[in-house]
Structure 1
C-alpha cells in the first residue's frame, strides 16, 4: 500500500491530539488536497512580497538606483502585496488583479535576471573571470528568487476559495486516463504535485547558489554558513525524485523541505544577529541593515522548503 503523507498526518492527529485540534488539522489538510486554500495563499503572497520588496529595495539603494528599471521590482512588490491582501477578501481580486500583477512581477524578475547577467558581463574581465565577477557583481539569481511571491500569487489565482470545499461539479476524474484534464482544472482541484516539485527543485538551486557565493564572500566564517549549501543538493534531489515517485513525494520531500524551512529560520536569526552586532547596532538600524548581512535572504531559502512541504501535501496530476 502506498504511503500517503496527508493520510498519515490525519491518523496521527486523530490518535494524539484533542478533538478540536485534530479536526482543525484534518480540515486544513483536506483544503490543501482539494485546492481550496486561495484566501490563505493570498495572505502568504502579501506577506512574502513585503519581505522580498524590502530586500530588493535596499539592495538597489546600495546601487544608487543607477538604472531606472531598478525601481520596478520595488513598485511591483508593493502592488503584489496589495493585490494579495485584496485577494483575501475578494474572489474577483484574486482571479483578476492578483493574477495580472503576478504575471507582471514574474516578467520583471526575468528582465532583472537579464540586467544582472549583463552587469556581471560588464565588470572588468567579464565572463573570463566568472567566479570573481559573479561573487562581486550583482546577485545573478536574485531577480528570479524575487519571483517566488509572484509564482505563489499566480497559483493562488487559479485555486478555489476555502468555502468551496466539497463542490466537485467539474473536478477531474482520477479513473479517466484517456483524456488529460486541462492544467487549470487540475490546479483548481489541488492536483499539481509534480509541477510544484519541479518548481521547488529550480528555486532551491537558485537560492542555494545565492547562499554559496554570498557566504563565500565572508570565507565561510561560521560553520553554520555551510548548512544551506549542503542542504541544497539534498532538497533538489528529493524534489526531482518527487516528480517520478509518489513515495519520495510523501517521504523524502517533506523531510528535506522541513529541514530547509527550519534552516532558513535559523539563518534569519543569524543574519539579524549579525546586523545587531555591527558597530552602532540597533542605534543605526538603516545603515547596518544596508551594509550588514542581507536580513531577508535566508527566508528565500525557507520559501523553498515551504514550496516542498506544500507539494508533498497536494495530489498528483492525472498523468
Structure 2
C-alpha cells in the first residue's frame, strides 16, 4: 500500500477521492471515546442486577463516562494544541488500561476458578459462564491500547515510525495499519468469547446463537490475516470488508432480537426485564468491532494534497 492509497481503494476505487472531515486516527479516537462511554453504561446496567452497586464497582462506571468526556474535550483541544491533547488522551488511555487490569483482578477474586478441583469436569466452564465476566474489564484494556495507537502520528505513513513529543520517534514492528488489524482481531475475539459465554447459559440450544459465533470466527480470521499479510490483495480486502459488514449486521439484528425478548406482550417496557433479561448492549459489540474494522480501511494520511 502506497502512502496515498488506502486499502479501501482496492475494492472501491472511487474512495481515492473520498475526503472525510476527520482523519482515520481521529475517527479511531472518537470511537475510543464512544466505547469508554458505553463501557461505563454497560457496567452500570450489569452491576445494577444486584440492586446495590458497591463503592468499588462505581470506579469503572465513573471512569468510563468521565473518560469519554475528557477524550472529546481533548479532541477539541487538539485543533489548537495537539501535543497537550495527546498527553491528556494518553493519560486517559493509560488509566483505562489500569482500570481494566484491576477489574480483572477483582473479578478473579470473586470466582473459584483458580481453586476449582480438576477432578470435577466442567467446573471451570461452569465458573467462567456464571462468574463475573473476566472479559468485561478487559475491554478497557483494549480501548486503551487502541487509543494509544491512534494518538501518535505515524511518519512516514505505513512505516511504523511514530512521532513522539519533542520530535522524538519510536520504530514499531508493524505499520499502524497492520497494528490496527491486529487490534481489531483481538477486539473481535474478545467479543466472540463473551458471546459464547453469555449464550452458554442457555447451553447454546437456540440455533440462532451460532450465527454470531460463525460471524465472529470469520471476523477474527479475516482481521488477523490482514495484519499478517504485508500487502493484501483485492480479494483479501474484499473478504475482510465482507466480514466486518457481516459483524455489523449480526450486531444490529442481535440488538433487535434481544430487545424483543425483553419486551412483554404489546411492547410494554419493564425495566427489570432489561436488567435481568437478554443484555441489550451485548449484540452491539459486534456492530462496534465491525465499524472499527471498516475504519482501518480508510486512508491513513494525516493530511491530503
* Structure 1 segments unaligned to the other structure (5+ residues): 15-22, 160-169
Contact 1:5 1:251 in 2 (8 A): no
Counterpart secondary structure, 2:134 = coil
Contact 1:145 1:300 in 2 (8 A): no
* Structure 2 segments unaligned to the other structure (5+ residues): none
Q: CA separation of 1:183/1:266 partners in 2, compared to 1, >3 Å: closer, same or farther?
A: farther
Contact 2:146 2:183 in 1 (8 A): no
Partner of residue 103, structure 2: 112
Q: How far apart in 1 are the matches of 2:161 and 2:222?
A: 26
Q: CA separation of 1:65/1:205 partners in 2, compared to 1, >3 Å: closer, same or farther?
A: farther
User: Which of 272, 276, 281 in structure 2 is aligned with 1:291?
Assistant: 276
Partner of residue 181, structure 1: 161
| 1:68-94 deviation per Cα after TM superposition (whole angstroms, max 9, x unaligned) | 332211011111111122123211463
Aligned length: 284
- The alignment's C-alpha RMSD in Å is 3.6
Partner of residue 303, structure 1: 288
1:203 to partner: Cα distance: 1.8
User: Quick check: 1:227 aligned with 2:227?
Assistant: no
1:213 to partner: Cα distance: 1.6
Q: CA separation of 1:31/1:182 partners in 2, compared to 1, >3 Å: closer, same or farther?
A: closer
| 1:49-82 deviation per Cα after TM superposition (whole angstroms, max 9, x unaligned) | 2222111012122245675332211011111111
1:280 to partner: Cα distance: 8.5
Contact 1:4 1:250 in 2 (8 A): no
1:122 to partner: Cα distance: 6.2
Counterpart secondary structure, 1:313 = coil
User: Quick check: 1:97 aligned with 2:97?
Assistant: no
Partner of residue 145, structure 1: 139
Q: How far apart in 2 are the matches of 1:203 and 1:57?
A: 21
1:148 to partner: Cα distance: 4.4
- Which deviates the most, 234-243 or 44-53? 44-53
1:214 to partner: Cα distance: 0.7
Partner of residue 7, structure 2: 5
1:131 to partner: Cα distance: 1.1
Q: CA separation of 1:270/1:148 partners in 2, compared to 1, >3 Å: closer, same or farther?
A: farther
Q: How far apart in 1 are the matches of 2:70 and 2:212?
A: 31
| 1:188-232 deviation per Cα after TM superposition (whole angstroms, max 9, x unaligned) | xx9512111111222222111111121121233543211111122
Q: How far apart in 1 are the matches of 2:117 and 2:89?
A: 38
Partner of residue 19, structure 2: 27
| 1:140-166 deviation per Cα after TM superposition (whole angstroms, max 9, x unaligned) | 21111244444443344335xxxxxxx
Partner of residue 172, structure 1: 156
Report the TM-score, using the length of structure 2 for normalisation. 0.78
Q: How far apart in 2 are the matches of 1:47 and 1:112?
A: 20
Q: How far apart in 2 are the matches of 1:148 and 1:289?
A: 26
Q: How far apart in 1 are the matches of 2:241 and 2:258?
A: 25
Partner of residue 112, structure 2: 121
Aligned residue runs from structure 1 range 117-266, under 5 A: 117-121=108-112, 125=116, 129-159=123-153, 171-172=155-156, 181-182=161-162, 191-245=175-229, 246-247=231-232, 250-266=237-253
